[in-house]
Each structure stands twice: as C-alpha cells, then as structure tokens.
Amino acid sequence: MDDRVERQFKTAIEHRHQLCLENAKKVGDTNNQGKSYRNLGNIYHGVGKYETAVEYHLRALEIAREVGKKFDEGRSYCNLGRAYRGLRRFKTAIEYHQRHLAIAEEVEDTTDEAVSYYSSLGWAYHGLGQFKEAIEYHRSHLEITKDMGDKIGEGIAYCTLGKAYRGLGQFQTAIEYHRRHLEISEEVGDKVEQGIGYGNLGCACQGLGQFKKAIKYHLSHLKVSQKVADKAGAGVSYESRQDDITPKNLTRFEWADEVGVVTKFSKRLFVPREFDMLQPISRETEVGAKAGEGESYGNLGNTYQSLGEFKTAMEYHQRQLEISKEVGAKAGEGESYGNLGNTYQSLGEFKTAMEYHQRQLEISKEVGAKAGEGESYGNLGNTYQSLGEFKTAMEYHQRHLEITKEVEKGRAQPLRDLMDTTYQPGDFPGNSGSSVSRSCVPSSTVFIAISGPLIYFWVFFSDHNALLRKLHLNNYRYEDELEFFIEQMTGKTLKEIGARDPITGENPPSDSLKIEEEGNDLNRIDARSSQQSALLKLYNIIVTPIADLILGNEITFVREGPFCLVPYAALEDPKSIHLGESLRIRVLPSLTTLQLINDSPAEFHLRSGALLVGEPCIKEIIYHGRRLRQVPGARKEVEIIGRIFRIPSLTGDMATKDEVLKRQSSVALVHIAAHGKMKTGEVFLAPNTTRENSQPHEKDYLLTMKDVVEAGLRARLVVLSCCRTARGEVMAEGVVGIARTFLGAGARSVLVTLGAIDDEGTQEFMSFFYHALADGKKASEALNQAMKCMRQTETFKEVKHWAPFELIGDDVTLDFKDAQ
C-alpha cells in the first residue's frame, strides 16, 4: 500500500471511528468506547500495523472487563490473538485464543463464535509448525461450517487442512482436501480461490514427485493470479452499516489475513466502505495479482529444481524474490532466499548458497517462522558439509534436529543429515541420494508406513527382494483418522503392560477381529468395535498381514510416525503368546540409518572400553523448585555390570557431566542409569565441580542432545536406563528421541526401555543381558535371552518387566576381553 492509499485509509479512520470514539468518551458511553477501540484495532490490523492494533484491543479488553461483558472480553482476546499472529508471536497468540475459548465455554457461546476460535487456534498452531495440533482445530472448524451450511467457510477449512497435511508430508491426504477446496471455489464462482486451489494442488503433487502435474497446476495458478485481483493485506472486516464484526465475518478476515488475498466473497466483508469509495480501482491494481503471482513463481522454481533444470528454477526463484520484496512479503522473501540457496548448492556454488541460506535464517528468526528456521539450519549444515567443514555442519544439523523435534515429530531426515556428518561418508556406497542398497538390509526386515487410508508393509528377504502388502483399517478414508487410531492403540498397549498408568474400562474378551483378504496384497480389518486388548489388536494390525512372510527367528521393524512407540515385543497373538517370545526383535528409525552405519569406516566404532554411569550425586540440584531423589538402585545396577566384566563404574560425585562427556567418545560401551527429563529423556548427572555458581544450573548437570553430539561417540552399544524421573517415568517419546540422538552422534546401537521398570526388575534384566553379551552373543540375542530368563522367574515373569526393552540400530557384539 503506497502513501497516498494509506492516507486515504487514515482519512476513513478519522471521519468515522475517531469521531465515534470521541463522542462515546464525551457522554461516558463505555459500550461504544469499547466497540470503537475494537474497530480501530481491526482497521490497524488490516493495514499491517499490528502493534497499534494490540494497543487498541487491550483498551477494548479493559473496558469489557470493567463493565463485565464476557462476550466482548472474549472477542478482545480473539482480536489480540490475531494481532500477535500478525507479529509472528504465535505462543502469545495461542494464550489469547485459549482465553477466548475458555470464555466461550463459560458463557455457552454460539456456534458462530466457535467458528472463530477454532479457526484462530488452528492458524496459530500452524504458524508454530505444530501441524497435528493445527489439524485438530481445523477439523473442528470444518465440522461446524458443515453444520451451519456455510459453503465458503467449508472451502476455507478444506484448504487449511490440506496445507497442514502438506506440512506433515502427507501429500496424498493434502490433495484430497485441496480438491474439495477447489470444487467449492468453482461452485461459488470465485476465481482467486480457484487460483489458490491450483497452487496448493501443485505443491502437493510436487511433494509426491509428480512434477509434470505440479507444473500444470502452478501455471494455472499463475494465469489466474495475473488476471484477477489478489492483493496482500486484505483490509478490515467492517462495513459502514455494521458497527462490529461477526464471528463468521471474522473467520473470512482471518483467511484473507493468512493467505494475503482479497477474494470475491471476502472483499465485501473486509473493506471499509469509505476506503472502497475513495479508491475503488486501486485495490484491484495497486498490488493486483502480485502475492499469488510470486507464490506461483516460487512453486514453479521448486518443481524445475526437482527436475534438475537449475537455470530455469533460478529464474523463477529470482522473480519470486523480486515480487516478495515489492509487496513487502517477508515470509515469501525468506522462502525465495532458501530456494535460491538450494539451487546454487545444486550447481556447486557453495559460498553463494551459504549467503542465501543465511539470509533465509535471518528472516525466519525475524518473523518467528520455526519451520523455516529449521530448514535454514539444515541447508546450512548441508552446505558446510559440502565444503568439508564437518564440525560446523554438525552444529547446524543438530540445531535442525532440535527444531524439527519441536515442530514435526517422527521424521527421519534430520537424523540422516546428522549421521551423514558424523560418519563423513564421502563416496561410500549409497551416499548419492535417497536410494538404499538392499545388501545391507537383513532378512525379515519390515518397513511400515502410512499413506492415505492404507498401511503399507514392505518385507525384505534374504535374496534382497521385497514384497509389498497393504492393510485397509476400519474402512478409514483419511490418513489422519488412521494415524490417530494407531496412536490411541499404542498408548493403550503401553498402559496394558504397565509402562504407563494402568488402563481402565478395557475388558479383553476372546472375540476376534474380522480379517478379510482382498487379492494377494490387500487385507481389510475393522478393529473399532472389537473388545480385544490393545496388544492383540496391534498384533493383528502389524503382524498378522505379514506373518506368513517372516522367515527364521528374528524380525527388524523400520518404523515411522505413529509406529515409533509401539512395544513390539509385547504384542500378543490370539493364543496369548507375545511376539518377543517367538522372535528376536530390533527396530530402526530408517533404512538409511542402517546403511550409513554399515558404510562407516571399519575403525570408526571402538571395540574395547566401557563407561558405566550410575546414581550420579544430584542432592545439590533443585529442579523446578524440587530436590531430586537419589536412586540407589541405579548404583547397584552398574556395580552388577562392573562385576561381570571387572570394569570400575562411575558413580556419585564422580559422575559429573564433564567427566561423562570426556569419556564417552573413547569407549565401545556406554551404560547410563540415572534420572531423565520426562518429556525429552535428557539425563541428570552430577553437577560439574568447575561451575560458575554455587547453586548448579542446568548447563552444569543436564546431559542434552547437543552435548552428546558435540562430544561425539564411537560406541558400538549405548544402554539408557533412564526411565526414572522426579515425578515418575520418562515418556516413551523422550526415550526414543534421545536414543535417536545417540545414534546420530555415532552410536551403532542403542538399548532403551519404553516405560518405567522397578529397580529390582531392571537389575535382574541387566544381569541376564550382560552375561549373554559377555558370552559373545549379539545384542538382539542377548536381549531375547534376557527376556526369556525374566519370564522364567516367578517375580519378574509379567510382561511389564521385560517387554518394554527395545534395541534400536545395528545388531552388535562386544569384545569384553579387551575391555577388561
């Protein structure tokens, strides 16, 4: 918006709203004062002056509280949330939107109002990159718009759901939602919305590798954007004959605000009549199609980049950058820099690539775009790696991994990048792209993934061939429904084996699931109405479809997404036999993880030396206002292991963070028995004696993922017996997360437990496990034997004592004669 247009906007404000406000003040009309403040806040929001908008909305909030109008108080919270989203302060925005929701529930607000707060919270979580949370709110928004018969709102909801699923990498599901959005846009005759629909479909097709389709959709978007008004900064949700915005109109405003467009159905609602009359043509021509046009150029550049046509890609990315700067679209500008950096990197111009990636990082931090920030760190890591600066590359990849863990759980790419840097594979086989050599994949390896409404199983055989099986569960139509069900079942299995709070309300009658074969590779199962235990349900979902393909007595699961936390050893067949009783089991984050480990230099992983850490002295630590309890059982645990191999352990005051980090890179075995943080699994060690303050800070005692990576590892096996916390157990998500970090830092294999096991049970298990290792058995064999021995005892035969243990990574042996 140029100065002339902005002056006209200010004139509209002066002639209407300031006058209303002054009159309300003169006569002491607090209701109209509050209304005027809200309207002024919305107008300043519309011209991108979010800080000024916040000031007016805070004044409106004060008045609403003063006069006790809960409805207006809720509306002010909503407006403040929107303004803080404009400032890219998404966490603050969520706080305000949640206050709005709480008040709406308190006063039993209308369905119209529900549209507003569900849409608002969805956008806020989307801005943080927390796509699963965003989807929950977008789905609620969708259901309400359907109930109201609001076709326009329904289309918006489909579009936002599609964008969230793209954020999760679930492109097929995204396509389904984007097609519905496009259909509704055509139905209501809105060309701009059709253009947006084309662009979204192009991005989703590109994610699937369907580049010709993607180009076709992006060109359609470009064509529409060049013809129709598509203006950034959609104006204000206000009409001269309307003194306040309605919830339904507010949702339209939010949509225009987020995507930066004025559409046929939004313009009437969001443009003050005074401004519209003063300059009716300028809104169509001032910025015109620039926002959508720039996005189209960026999408076309990405598609040509994927096709290897780098010069064409560069031309489109440069055009996107020019338009982003022209219209002041910071997010688009940052994205353009990132795209150009990737293109220069593909051309081998690493210094230039680094400059562009650094610019993207700066802008991502400026606007609070976490996903873009993480992407920038990953790109910089790749660039430094290409230049041979591996230490710097590792730091950037570690930062990428940390941010990715925040915004997108269960994805393996940052781990792969970190391992690439750790092992510095250079020209090792399989390091040229995403292909994985099947020669390194053991027989009976099962890769499990969800795509759309189906679960896919690829089973690898000893001759390096693979067979595909598919499962259609519960007749689901969408990926999110399927993922949510698997997550629920996984949580229930952990409860059933005592790894979490005991499950209630679940009876395990003997009725069986109905399994129907279709053709040679597709099964259908409906597990919703079955009253079976979750352990049996997951067995039928994960094992039954491929049971006839498992040869021998071992199985390796390569899992992702909701399958990451499944306790595979505990899964129970119809005869009440657990999977861990019949098969040796290990798991992998990805096939690439296994190949990178196998391709590492023979001398990389050490063959001797052990670090046994147990019961660090933590009596000086005050964590979240509480002193942590000592864990005597952890000391006894490592002393038992030390006696088996005649190796001294590191305990008490000696088990400081500095000492552990100093020793961890020079041993073949690392065993840590200590407290862990509940959500992240990070480990509490004895505070460093060289600390700056008498009262230790977290940096003095907490072993973080960053610490592990920077210190490096060359261990063949890491055992994390860290499921104890000051408040109970470490969450399985935290255990798996830190295990992945140890793999990324250089460990060949990691043994963890997905739930809390009492000290006596852990000591017994570790004794069985290490005796088997000392006899020369592989880690998976030692794990299997320890489980068997536990089942044969009277005290520890229950599944909760042995099934939560899980081996992640390679199947290693240790030479303990050298260790002694």
Which pLDDT tens digit goes with each residue over 319-369?
Answer: 889 888 877 777 778 888 999 998 998 888 999 999 999 999 998 887 666
Greater confidence (65 vs 287) lies with 65
Residue 290 has what pLDDT?
A: 62
Residue 12 has what pLDDT?
A: 56
Greater confidence (372 vs 233) lies with 372
Q: Which of these ranges, 386-395, 562-571, 577-586, has the smallest mean pLDDT?
A: 386-395
Q: Confidence band (pLDDT; 50, 70, 90) for 555?
A: very high
Tell me, what DSSP letter sits at residue 233?
Answer: S
Residue 221's CB is within 10 A of a number of other CB atoms, namely 28
Residue 426 has what pLDDT?
A: 46
SS (H, E, C) 286-310: CCCCHHHHHHHHHHHHHHHHHCCCH
Strands (E) in 414-543, as ranges, are 445-451, 454-460, 466-473, 514-518, 522-526
Task: Give yes or no for residue 288 having a pLDDT over 50.
Answer: no
- Does residue 125 contact residue 94 with C-beta atoms inside 8 Å? yes
Domain covering 309-367+376-405 in this structure, CATH number: 1.25.40.10
Could you give the 3-state DSSP secondary structure of residue 47? Answer: coil
- Of the candidates 221, 228, 198, the one whose C-alpha atom is nearest the C-alpha of residue 294 is 221
Record the tokens describing residue 307, joined without a space.
């096709």
What average pLDDT does the segment 224-252 reach? 45
Q: Confidence band (pLDDT; 50, 70, 90) for 304?
A: confident
Record the tokens describing residue 356, joined without a space.
């562009």
- Of the candidates 421, 442, 450, the one whose C-alpha atom is nearest the C-alpha of residue 588 is 442
SS (H, E, C) 61-130: HHHHHHHCCHHHHHHHHHHHHHHHHHCCCHHHHHHHHHHHHHHHHHCCCCHHHHHHHHHHHHHHHHHHCC
- Report CA 79 to chain centroid distance, whole Å: 27
pLDDT in tens, 775-786: 999 999 999 999
- Of the candidates 561, 521, 503, 496, the one whose C-alpha atom is nearest the C-alpha of residue 170 is 561
pLDDT in tens, 613-650: 999 998 888 877 777 778 888 999 999 999 998 999 99
Task: Give yes or no for residue 248 having a pLDDT over 80.
Answer: no
**65-72, Cβ contacts within 8 angstroms, sequence gap of 24 or more:** 66/30, 67/30, 67/31, 67/34, 69/31, 69/34, 70/103, 70/106, 70/107, 71/103, 71/107, 71/109, 72/34, 72/38
Task: Give yes or no for residue 264 having a pLDDT over 70.
Answer: no
Residue 400 has what pLDDT?
A: 79
- Does residue 609 contact residue 668 with C-beta atoms inside 8 Å? yes
pLDDT in tens, 421-445: 566 554 333 333 344 555 677 888 8
Record the tokens describing residue 427, joined without a space.
């020209």
Could you give the 3-state DSSP secondary structure of residue 356? Answer: helix
Residue 558 has what pLDDT?
A: 87
Q: What is the DSSP string of 238-284?
A: -BTTBSS--HHHHHHHHHHHHHT---HHHHHHHS-HHHHHH-TTHHH
Greater confidence (244 vs 68) lies with 68
- Does residue 446 contact residue 457 with C-beta atoms inside 8 Å? yes
Q: What span, in angstroms and rounded, lies between the C-alpha atoms of 687 and 165? A: 43
Q: Confidence band (pLDDT; 50, 70, 90) for 769?
A: very high
Q: What is the DSSP string of 564-628?
A: GG--GGG-B-TTS-BHHHHSEEEEES-HHHHHHHHTS-TTTS-SS-EEEEEEE--TT-EETTEEP
What average pLDDT does the segment 512-516 reach? 40
pLDDT in tens, 206-225: 877 788 888 888 888 888 87
Record the tokens describing residue 446, joined without a space.
């099962």
Q: Residue 672 is inside which H or E element, if any?
A: strand 669-675
Q: What's the chain's length in residues?
A: 820
Residue 464 has what pLDDT?
A: 66
Residue 570 makes CB contacts below 8 A (sequence gap 6+) with 493, 496, 497, 535, 578, 579, 580, 799, 803, 804
Residue 790 has what pLDDT?
A: 96
Record the tokens describing residue 317, joined without a space.
């990315």
What average pLDDT does the segment 233-240 reach? 32
**375-380, Cβ contacts within 8 angstroms, sequence gap of 24 or more:** 375/338, 375/400, 376/338, 377/403, 378/413, 378/414, 378/417, 379/338, 379/341, 379/342, 379/345, 379/353, 380/354
Q: What span, in angstroms and rounded, lies between the C-alpha atoms of 133 and 368? A: 18
Q: What span, in angstroms and rounded, lies between the C-alpha atoms of 655 and 615? A: 8
What average pLDDT does the segment 567-577 reach? 93
Task: Give yes or no for residue 454 having a pLDDT over 70.
Answer: yes
Greater confidence (258 vs 84) lies with 84
Residue 9 has what pLDDT?
A: 53
User: Which range in 106-115, 307-316, 405-414 is most confidently predicted, on average pLDDT?
Assistant: 307-316
Q: Which of these ranges, 31-40, 407-416, 453-462, has the smallest mean pLDDT?
A: 407-416
What average pLDDT does the segment 667-691 reach? 84
What average pLDDT does the segment 513-541 reach? 68
Task: Give yes or no for residue 294 having a pLDDT over 80.
Answer: no
- Does residue 654 contact residue 667 with C-beta atoms inside 8 Å? no
- Does residue 804 contact residue 757 with C-beta atoms inside 8 Å? yes
Q: What span, in angstroms and rounded, lies between the C-alpha atoms of 138 and 176? A: 15
Residue 435 has what pLDDT?
A: 45
Q: What span, in angstroms and rounded, lies between the C-alpha atoms of 221 and 225? A: 6
User: Which range in 226-230, 382-386, 716-720 is most confidently predicted, on average pLDDT?
Assistant: 716-720
Greater confidence (731 vs 271) lies with 731
- Does residue 444 contact residue 552 with C-beta atoms inside 8 Å? yes
Domain covering 603-809 in this structure, CATH number: 3.40.50
Residue 726 has what pLDDT?
A: 32
User: Which range in 298-307, 476-485, 513-522 is most confidently predicted, on average pLDDT?
Assistant: 298-307
What average pLDDT does the segment 497-516 reach? 40
- Of the candidates 352, 285, 300, 297, the one whose C-alpha atom is nearest the C-alpha of residue 324 is 297
Q: What span, in angstroms and rounded, lies between the C-alpha atoms of 554 and 559? A: 16
Residue 722 makes CB contacts below 8 A (sequence gap 6+) with 672, 673, 674, 675, 676, 681, 683, 730, 735, 738
Task: Give yes or no for residue 474 having a pLDDT over 60.
Answer: yes
pLDDT above 70 covers a percentage of the chain that reads 74
Q: Which of these ranges, 135-139, 351-355, 605-609, 737-741, has the smallest mean pLDDT?
A: 737-741
Q: Which of these ranges, 14-28, 640-654, 675-689, has the smallest mean pLDDT?
A: 14-28
Question: How many Cα atoms within 13 Å fall on the side-chain side of residue 782?
Answer: 23
Please give the mean pLDDT across all residues of the chain: 77
- Of the candidates 63, 118, 126, 56, the one whose C-alpha atom is nearest the C-alpha of residue 90 is 126
Greater confidence (717 vs 626) lies with 717
- Does residue 584 contact residue 575 with C-beta atoms inside 8 Å? no
Record the tokens describing residue 434, joined without a space.
């995403």
Per the listing, tokens 């994927």 go with 306
Per the listing, tokens 């002393």 go with 639
Q: What span, in angstroms and rounded, lies between the C-alpha atoms of 343 and 568? A: 42
Q: Residue 336 is inside which H or E element, if any?
A: helix 330-346
Q: Confidence band (pLDDT; 50, 70, 90) for 575?
A: very high
Q: What are phi and psi of 264, to 5 degrees?
A: -55, -40
Q: What span, in angstroms and rounded, lies between the C-alpha atoms of 172 and 182? A: 15
Greater confidence (328 vs 668) lies with 668
Task: Give yes or no for residue 262 having a pLDDT over 70.
Answer: no
Q: What span, in angstroms and rounded, lies between the C-alpha atoms of 654 and 638? A: 14
pLDDT in tens, 149-181: 888 889 989 999 999 888 887 888 999 999 999
